Structure 1
């Protein structure tokens, strides 16, 4: 069940890592909201059904979609079409436009169904950080390859915490390249009126931190919520300057909510 964000307090301040930053761009799924788990579950259902119907010749490639490793490696942070194509190609399955679109459409249907049924929440630590940035006068943008980003943020009760939203619909309209290209993030900071060299990107996807690095952002923050894995090390290798488990680590002062 959806939980509204905690009431705001005024005793959090920014950690030293963010004190010279003049704008921050946040990825949406897995960074602002817990919707990454819903995306991963929808991908698993769609991919596993396709694997059963069209098993790869190599038995080792017939294993089910893994909601951690395969999600992070192939689809996290990417558009639906790019993610579907990447996973199918990795398993040696037909990745023609028709097949990719069919699998992506099934994933979209499943995701929308689960979103209607269960909703999503914003991570409390992220809300703390975004509110601390707002009090400090630092502009904030939300960015996502998903066309659902605005709906997700609205359902989670945090849309009004961001000055700018650049979602998958805007990316398609403007012809922005997908991650790991930095186009989405560069468009977000352009709308905030701050150069990338004075801004930060916050991401949980390998393609996302690589995009931040390619875009020349002053600080790339990786978010690793997968305890007990090597995700943090992989985020660092792909371009993160620092990795945190929760974005509350980037505020100092008040009691955690």
Structure 2
């Protein structure tokens, strides 16, 4: 879709990841995963490829960031060569099944939220307000079932057109990232075609999902102090990598502060 000049018209809508893009919750998720995995690794020593502790930066981004709890647990276990039965959805936290490990993470995450409330990134609120002033509808997407509650507690939900989270994914049978199903559903709810919509993501799996869904623009967000994920985001398909969301809004929609 072209504008009057040589530059393509900006996307008509935007779908944004939640954890690490809109709200400062990625570190809480990463710490909860570390608690879950590291507490089990000694018991898995006889079947683990190595007993190295879970790396809350590298392992988090590579295996669990952007995925559902079950898929994240399964990906890390597979990478370590650890074979566990799937378990049942109502299983208690533990180390003997994939779902039990996922439940350990959920328990650790809930415990962390009691002492560390999640807040919105300052640039996220500014960017969403700017998009609203431009009449660009915005959807938040997350594999987490906590997304709606966390967005509401951070005060970000009022600036969004819709939210698609883990509850929706479970109810509709939507596959998790790097499958684009969550993003495609959000674009459908916003009433736009993927090619007329932007995806904004900090997770490698999310960037890959945006490209697989054939979205018109895929923006990577690198909030690390030394921009250590910029190259990986580009390698996974990001058309543009920014350090904050206002940089994205200014570059894509031409809206300044």
TM-score (norm 2): 0.88
Deviation at 1:202, TM superposition (A): 0.4
Deviations 1:30-78 (A, max 9, x none): 00001000000000010001112222556x7211101110000000000
Deviations 1:99-155 (A, max 9, x none): 110100010011012112211011111111111100000001001000000011011
In structure 1, C-alpha distance between the alignment counterparts of 2:67 and 2:148, rounded to whole Å: 17
Greater RCO (CA < 8 Å, at least 6 residues apart): 1
Deviations 1:138-175 (A, max 9, x none): 00100100000001101111111111111000011001
RMSD over equivalenced CA pairs, Å: 1.6
**8 Å CA contact retained: 1:35, 1:120:** yes
Q: Secondary structure at the match of 2:63?
A: helix
The 5-angstrom pairing of residues 32-181 of structure 1 reads 32-57=22-47, 61-98=50-87, 99-181=97-179
1:242 aligns with 2:240: yes
Task: State the match for 2:3 in structure 1.
Answer: none
Q: Among residues 15, 22, 32, which one is paired with 2:12 in the alignment?
A: 22
In structure 2, C-alpha distance between the alignment counterparts of 1:136 and 1:184, rounded to whole Å: 24
Q: Secondary structure at the match of 1:202?
A: strand
In structure 1, C-alpha distance between the alignment counterparts of 2:114 and 2:121, rounded to whole Å: 19
In structure 2, C-alpha distance between the alignment counterparts of 1:134 and 1:106, rounded to whole Å: 38
**Is the alpha carbon distance of 1:35 and 1:232 closer, same or farther for their aligned partners in structure 2, counting shifts above 3 Å?**
same
Equivalenced residue count is 237
Q: Please, which runs of 5 or more residues in structure 1 have no aligned partner?
A: 1-16
Deviation at 1:95, TM superposition (A): 3.1
Deviation at 1:181, TM superposition (A): 0.7
1:215 aligns with 2:213: yes
In structure 1, C-alpha distance between the alignment counterparts of 2:123 and 2:227, rounded to whole Å: 21
**Is the alpha carbon distance of 1:155 and 1:19 closer, same or farther for their aligned partners in structure 2, counting shifts above 3 Å?**
farther
Q: Please, which runs of 5 or more residues in structure 2 have no aligned partner?
A: 1-6, 88-96
